[in-house]
Structure 1
């Protein structure tokens, strides 16, 4: 089944957003701007993934049906949530624990 052109554009945006979030996660939390940038990149990627799942009408059983899908989604979750954990840690007491 051929996907519409908008779907391809959305997938490109999603992939680039994940790459951007991984790159942004390397920034230290020493300024408010970097902290906000990290939080926004996490929120954008998370929302885009939710939109993609809803738009494709994927339920949780289909999401983890095959072993390849499980590996892909666990890798994707790692690329999204592990950098987001850097929001919680900083040597600067104003921007982390």
Structure 2
């Protein structure tokens, strides 16, 4: 999505969001695409999708382990390369 859409969804503010997205780019969690002045963000690969699906399933009011397993089965991660390292920033909106 566009940065403005991500900002609206997370409500963390443009400066902090830009820092978070830069860290996620450096960690190869997201990829970008430019269209004129717009920058579009997408998850980089199936490993990133699995991580996000897992967090979505766990960070709810009533976590459901079956949703985590369903997310894992729905993604083909056999060829995905997981990225590890220190200093990787992440963000979540906790209600």
**Common fold: TM-score over 0.5:** no
More strand by percentage: 2
- Which category describes the TM-score, using the shorter chain as reference length? under 0.3
More helix by percentage: 1
Greater relative contact order (Cα 8 A, min sep 6): structure 1 or 2? 1
Q: Normalising by the residue count of structure 2, what TM-score does the alignment of the two structures yield?
A: 0.26
